[in-house]
Amino acid sequence: MPASVLPASSSASTATPSGPAHSSRLDVAADLLALLHDTATEPRIDTQLEALTLAVAADLPVLLWGEPGIGKTAALEQLAVALDLPLTTVIASVHEPSDFSGLPVVGDDPAVQGVPMAPPDWAVRLARAGRGLLFLDELSTAPPAVQAALLRLVLERRVGALRLPPGVRIVAAANPRSSAADGWELSAPLANRFVHLQWVHDHEVVVRGLGGTWPRASLPRLDPDRLSEAVTFARRAVCGLLAARPALVHRLPGNDVRRGGPWPSPRSWEMTLRLIAFATAANTSREVLSMLVRGTVGDGPGLELLAGLDRMDLPDPEALLADPAAADLPERGDLRQAVLDGVVEAVRKRPEKSRWDAAWALLVRALETGAPDLVAVPATTLAALRRAEWDVPASIEKLAGVVALGRQADKAAARVAAGGSSR
C-alpha cells in the first residue's frame, strides 16, 4: 500500500518519537531503578561475611563456592563498597592464558632488552590505583590452561611483568561442577592457594535485604595489645598439632574432586597460622574460625586443629593437683574428659601419694559438678596406679558406685561384641 494512502493512525505509529518525550520516559525509568538500588546496611551477625572479611584483612585469596544465583557477586560488590575499595571483576572463563601471564611485546632490540610480558588494562588500572578488590568470577569454568596461568597471579600477585600493589585483595567465586556451565575441577595447585568458603543463603538475610537492608561488611577490629600474643598462640597451635601428627604436614587427596578443595600442605598450614593469629587478635567467634580453618586445610585436619585449640585453653593438670578444691573444670563433656585424663596422666608420670590423693579429690569434685559417666574411666585408671603402701582415701567411697557401674558397662559391651562375632 502506498504511504500516501496509509491510515492516519498508521502514519503516526511509524513516525519517530519526539526526543524530549522519549528521554523523559527513560528518565522516569532511571529514577525508579535508582530507588530500587537505594538500599541500606545494618550491623548484623553473619558468620560467612565475617569469615570473608577476616580473610581479606589477612591478605589471603578467598574462593567462594556456591550455587548460581546465591549472591556471591552481590556480596563482593557490597564488600567493595563497605571497605571503600574499587572493584575490578574479571570473568576467568572468557580469558586466554596470555591475559594473565602477559602478552609479549617486542622492543627495539630483543637480544639486549628481552621481550617483556605486557599486562592487561585491568591490571594496569589496579596498579595505578594502588588498592582495590580483584574479583575473579566463574573460576570453575576456566579451562586448565587458564587455571595454570592464574597460579602466579593468585600467589605472587604478578600479571605479566607487573606486580600488583599490596593494597590489592583477591577474591574468587566458583560454582560446583554439577551446576557450572562446562565446568572443570579446580587444579590442585590452584585450589591449594585459596581459603575455600561455602557460600549459602540465609533466609532472614535475603528477606531483609530485599526489603532494603543488607548486613554491613566491615574489617575486623584487631586489638593492638594482643598482636604478639596472637602470633605466639597461632604458632603453638599449628606447630603442636604437626609435631604430634607429622602425616598432616602434606596430604594430597586421592581424587580430583577433593584436590579441587582445601587440603593440608605447608602452604595451607602457613595460611591457617595467619588466620588463627588474626582471629585471636580480633577475638573472632569459634564458628567463624572453624569455617576458615576447615576451608584452608580441609575438614579432617581442621577439626583436629580446632580440638587442639580447645585443649590449649584447658587448665594445667599440675595446677589442678596443687589445689583440687579450687579447680574450675570445663562444662563441655569432651573438654572435662580431657582435663581428667590429663590429671591422671600427670600422676602416672610422677606417682606420689599426695598427688594420687589430690587426683581423687579432683575426681570427686568432677562427680559433684558434672556427668558421672565422665569420671568412670579416669577413676579406674587412677585406681590401677595405687601402690601397696598407699592408704585408700576416704573420698574414694563416693566414686565406688561409678567405677562399679563403668565395669559392668564394659562387661556388657564385651558380651554384646562376643555375641555379634559368634553369629
Q: Looking only at Cα atoms, what is the longest distance across the chain?
A: 126
Q: Is residue 333 part of a domain?
A: yes
Give the tens place of pLDDT for each residue, 36-93.
Answer: 988 888 888 889 999 999 999 999 999 999 888 888 888 888 889 888 899 999 998 8
Q: Is residue 23 part of a domain?
A: no
Question: What's the confidence (pLDDT) of residue 355?
Answer: 93
Question: Are 96 and 184 members of one domain?
Answer: yes
Give the tens place of pLDDT for each residue, 223-246.
Answer: 999 999 999 999 999 998 998 889
Give the tens place of pLDDT for each residue, 74-84.
Answer: 888 888 988 88
Question: What's the confidence (pLDDT) of residue 418?
Answer: 62
Question: Are 200 and 276 members of one domain?
Answer: no
Question: Are 300 and 249 members of one domain?
Answer: yes
**Burial class for 226, CB neighbours closer than 10 Å (0-12, 13-18, 19+):** middle
Rounded Cα distance between 175 and 137, Å, is 10
What domain range is 63 assigned to? 40-105+115-215
Whether 111 shows a pLDDT value over 80: the answer reads: no
* CATH code (residue 52): 3.40.50.300
Rg (CA), the chain: 31
Q: Are 101 and 116 in contact (CB under 8 A)?
A: no
Q: Is residue 401 part of a domain?
A: yes
Question: What's the confidence (pLDDT) of residue 409?
Answer: 41
Rounded Cα distance between 163 and 56, Å, is 19
Read off the DSSP letter of residue 335: H
Question: Are 67 and 211 members of one domain?
Answer: yes
**Which segment of 138-142, 190-194, 311-315, 350-354 scores lowest on mean pLDDT?**
311-315
Question: What's the confidence (pLDDT) of residue 117?
Answer: 79
Q: Is residue 209 part of a domain?
A: yes
Mean pLDDT of the chain: 84
Question: Are 190 and 69 members of one domain?
Answer: yes
Final residue before a domain boundary, out of 215, 236, 266: 215
Give the tens place of pLDDT for each residue, 407-421.
Answer: 444 444 455 456 555
- pTM check: above 0.85: no
Question: Are 269 and 169 members of one domain?
Answer: no
Final residue before a domain boundary, out of 183, 215, 247: 215
Question: Are 101 and 159 members of one domain?
Answer: yes
Q: Is residue 29 part of a domain?
A: no
Please count the structural domains in the chain: 3
Grid-cell match 602466579, residue found: 152
Percent helix / strand / coil, the chain, rounded to 5? 60, 10, 30
Neighbours of 103 (CB within 10 A): 13
Instruction: Give the type of residue at 211.
Output: G
Joined grid coordinates for residue 281: 587478635
Question: Are 306 and 321 members of one domain?
Answer: no
Q: What are phi and psi of 369, to 5 degrees?
A: -115, 0
Rounded Cα distance between 281 and 279, Å, is 6
Q: Are 402 and 375 in contact (CB under 8 A)?
A: yes
Final residue before a domain boundary, out of 154, 188, 215: 215
Q: Is residue 11 part of a domain?
A: no
Question: Are 54 and 201 members of one domain?
Answer: yes
Question: Are 336 and 418 members of one domain?
Answer: yes
Judged by DSSP in three states, 389 sits in: coil
Please name the residue ranges forming H helices in 110-226. Answer: 110-113, 121-129, 144-156, 188-191, 203-210
Q: Is residue 30 part of a domain?
A: no
Rounded Cα distance between 235 and 160, Å, is 35
Q: Are 204 and 166 in contact (CB under 8 A)?
A: no
Read off the DSSP letter of residue 311: H
Q: Is residue 15 part of a domain?
A: no
Judged by DSSP in three states, 406 sits in: helix
Question: Are 307 and 323 members of one domain?
Answer: no
Among 165, 173, 166, which residue's Cα sits nearest to residue 127? 165
Question: Are 174 and 72 members of one domain?
Answer: yes
